[in-house]
Structure 1
Amino acid sequence: MSAHTAAMSEHEYREAKFFQTFGSVPTPAFHDPEEQTRVWGAHGVASTMSASCARC
């Protein structure tokens, strides 16, 4: 007989159960592009970042 191999690892199983239970919701979830631009700026950089970080 051949050895039984699992279809997924324990980590994959736990991750799948987690997302099955809690769902996968993007954070932050924006309703429209204007809202995203208002919150994150034109280039997706949070306004709370320093100017030196925004150059990167």
Structure 2
Amino acid sequence: VMTFEAYLKENPRPSEAAVREVLSGNLCRCTGYQNIVAAILRVAQAASDAKA
């Protein structure tokens, strides 16, 4: 969570591939990160929408 808070400040509209790259060194890959990636992309989109 803290890694992505900082990451989203620098990269407010990341691609799915970018999110997966940042996750790669932080969590076990056994689940494929699907729910985590989806949640991060939703947060990024909500933050972007709030600024618009």
The answer to whether the superposition gives a TM-score over 0.5 is: no
Give the TM-score category using the shorter length.
under 0.3
Over alpha carbons, which structure has the higher Rg?
A: 1
**Which protein, 1 or 2, shows the higher relative CO under an 8 Å CA cutoff with sep ≥ 6?**
2
Q: TM-score, normalised by structure 2?
A: 0.26
TM-score by length of 1: 0.25
